[in-house]
Structure 1
Amino acid sequence: MPNVPWYNRHREIEPRVHKELTEKAANRIKFALDNIVSYGEIDDAYKRYRTEVGLQHDYLEVNNYGPAIDAVGKLLQNEGLDHSLTFLEIIIDILWTPSDYSSERHSAEALYQFDIDIRRILVEEGVLLRLRPDQKEVEEYAGKLYEYQNRDHVIKAVDQQRGADSPPSRPFSFRFEQLSHESIIESDQQVRALAKSQRWSGALEPYNEAWELYQGQQFSRIIPEKLYNSLESVLERICVEEQGWNTENEQVGSYLNSCRKNGLFEPNDAMVGEWEQIMGGIQTGIQRSGGDRKDHATIDQHYCVLLLHQVGAFLTFLITRYEDEYDKR
């Protein structure tokens, strides 16, 4: 078995997923805001923000645009997640609210592009947050707003005479939700550390590919298939190549049964039952996302994160338990 030097075994891996806004994510969101927001909207958002949190930040007491947008960047980076998301929810809601000022009359196209940008930044930067409502609902409303903004001049004049010249009512407010908690970050770190070993690197490559698909916003059945492939490869390595408990091309369920029969899931009786449930959930989840669906059929983002978390945690348990039990024999 090849020896992996201490540095490569124990060097801390930089997280690829985060529960907070990273510096880069905060900067990218600030730049996205810079493409659309006005000074007046920043000022309004800060006033509402102070009302909600009861705090005042001197660096946001500015009277022109340049320093104001830079101050927004400071707030997003320095004031913690609760404050950052409170401010973002307020300013996004203001952007989508009709205004009497020409500088704040944003086109439906610009608003929808901003919405796309925010969601894309969160995923690409591995921030475990999502923006609600979902993108489809925002897209439907943006379509109605576009139709209103691009009415024929004659129709506009008639509507104004009738006092009926008002944009479509927005049926939602914007809010952020956490997709997961710190355990998913720890789980991913552990799997990536194991993948640095030549012994497991090939088997865990599909797991890494699943994360790359997630960060590329490809929420499709390919993600659970990659995760299944990684689980299958690790089990084949253990059950076929190293222990000879099974033959090639058996089902994952057969490999799991062999692991159980050979004492891999026996720290105590309660844990055996717990892991049986988890294993069943992983298999059912992966099978449920397959079937007759097209390869690129959309899967809910939250469900993708759940599968990544479950499979990552299970792979870590499986490999570390196996190494602890069998490498010393």
Structure 2
Amino acid sequence: MSKSSSGRGRTRSFPIVISPQEVRDLTTEVKTAVEQLLSNCSSNVNTPDYEKLYRNVYTLILHGHGESLYNGLKSDMEEGLRKIRADILISLEDDFLQKLSHVWANYDTSVIMIRDIFMYMERVYVAEKNIDGVIRFPAIKNKLREIILELVVQDFRGELPQFEWQDCVKNIKEVSQMLIKLGVKDNNPSIYEEIFEEPFLLKVVEFYKIEGGKYLEDNNANLYISQVEDRIRADMNRVQLLSLHESTGTKLLQIMEDELITKNILTLMEVDMGGVEDSLINRKEENFTRLQNFVGRVEGGKEKLGAYITSYLNDQADPNLPSFDGQSISWIG
């Protein structure tokens, strides 16, 4: 026998016809593997079995059983998700976030393994499945929103106990990454926006409004600017630390600038220390420049400051005060 006719290097052939019993056997092997994976029994499915299971799937599709295989996979996935949901519901009042993160990590790994097995069918029949139906289940969604919002808001307020901080940050990051990965489904708002981002941003509006009021109590523009700049810097760093989506950072910055700058521009210009009058009368050029740059962070900020200065100087009509051309101050030497 020539080398070319030997078994070495020959492409594996598939039977032209398979019996009903063979169909049942191949289907059962695939179904069992899926059930084991969804039950987190991945140790029972080793690397050689992947090749066999993939061949089983390919053979069944090749012989016209792809539709029934797809329906079986869909049913198995739905049943697996029902069991996962039931498992999470049991933990609603006991280590909920830890349980959810553990289930998500196992599920995410299992889905990758299942996709490897069904690689051929996925190209033909089925899109990637995910767990967002479980997360959107009302009891789970509401509990997740309640806990994650409380933790994140407490962290922004600096209220998390130091001894719990690292564990809380770890939980927040894991949940955030899970929600971001689940992404958008059927043109609906992403599950990340629905469960976390939208309610979080609504909560922080009131928080920053209160913070701005506290900062203004000192009646000192320089101190206020320092406090706001420190707050913006710290909270933008916190967005990264907690692995929140970049869209959250963008929207959060807009809220901080609205609540801490735009809405307080007039009050800031009128404060006794470092305000417009104090800066002009006492020729505090550095203070004035800092105020100008600060309000210039927001749309219309410099224009409001310019209008206020113009009105103030017109009212005073004091030749000893600096002049203003609508854009810049000419300080008297």
TM-score by length of 1: 0.27
Query: Larger radius of gyration, structure 1 or 2?
Result: 2
More helix by share: 2
